[in-house]
Amino acid sequence: MIDQQPRAGIDYPRNWHELLAWFPEDAACLRYLERLRWGRGLTCRFCGAVDGSWWQMRDGLRRCALCRSETSVTAGTIFAGTRTPLVSWFAAIWYVVNQKQGVSALGLQRVLGLGSYETAWTWLHKLRRGMVLPGRELLAGAVEIDETYVGARQTSVGGRSPGTRRSSRSPSRATRRPSGCGCDGSPTSSATR
Ligand SMILES: [Zn+2]
């Protein structure tokens, strides 16, 4: 079970080396997904039994003791029915969420050695859809942006390209919320620099 504030090195790997050490095979990925999804108890999606008894059939697969139906931990997720090893999915997720400048399908294909651009494109769109928070609200109030670029690329002068002028960084990547929104009004991130 992961708390509201996931802890690096405990709830998720801190770096690429930890990623490889934590998830050397699909069984480890399944156990991790079980912890995420069923850490607070398993609700049978067939009979609706809440936190009832179950049998562990194998990693990622449990059988409800009440209705005898089997539930996979990947059912209803982007991993459902995939023929690709979960370790590859986990590696793709790690790569996508760690690229500050964004990820292209071509970049994903190259890094993971995927067979085709179409596969990489499909993966990327699945991951992007999975990262959308259901019921999300629009940003409101004073919003701070981590960094940005100002101005257009300038014309090359004397063989030199001055490139894009870059603005100074804002001091924080936090998003501030207005009071009265059900929170304490403090920044949602403590990544103040
Ligand atoms: Zn059941």
pLDDT in tens, 73-128: 999 999 998 888 999 999 999 999 888 788 899 999 998 888 899 999 999 999 99
| Alpha-carbon distances, residue 21 vs 11, 49, 58, 100, 129 (angstroms) | 14, 35, 21, 23, 27
Q: State residue 98's pLDDT score.
A: 87
pLDDT for residue 61: 96
CA angle 25, 27, 33 (to 5 degrees): 115
CA–centroid distance, residue 75 to ligand 1 (Å): 14
85 C-alpha vs ligand 1 centroid, how far in Å?
28
Each residue of 113-142: pLDDT tens digit? 888 999 999 999 999 988 888 888 888 899
Q: How far is the CA of 41 from the centre of ligand 1 (A)?
A: 13
CA of 63 to the centre of ligand 1 (A): 8
pLDDT of residue 88: 92
Residue 72 clears pLDDT 50, i.e. is over it: yes
87 CA → ligand 1 middle, Å: 29
- Residue 29 — very low, low, confident or very high, per pLDDT cuts 50/70/90? very high
Q: Stretch 172-186: mean pLDDT, rounded?
A: 41
Torsion sign over Cα 89, 94, 99, 102: positive
50 CA to centre of ligand 1 in angstroms: 9
**Residue 63: strand pairing partners:** 55, 70
The alpha carbon of 52 and the centre of ligand 1 are apart by a number of angstroms equal to 8
Q: How far is the CA of 71 from the centre of ligand 1 (A)?
A: 9
Q: Domain limits of the chain?
A: 1-77
Between 50 and 5, where is the model more confident? Answer: 50
For residue 40, what pLDDT band results from cuts at 50, 70 and 90?
A: confident
Contact yes or no for 179/140 (Cβ under 8 A): no
Distance between Cα 48 and ligand 1 center (Å):
6
Instruction: Inform me whether the pLDDT recorded for 179 exceeds 80.
Output: no
Residue 143 Cα to ligand 1 middle (Å): 46
152 pLDDT more than 80: no
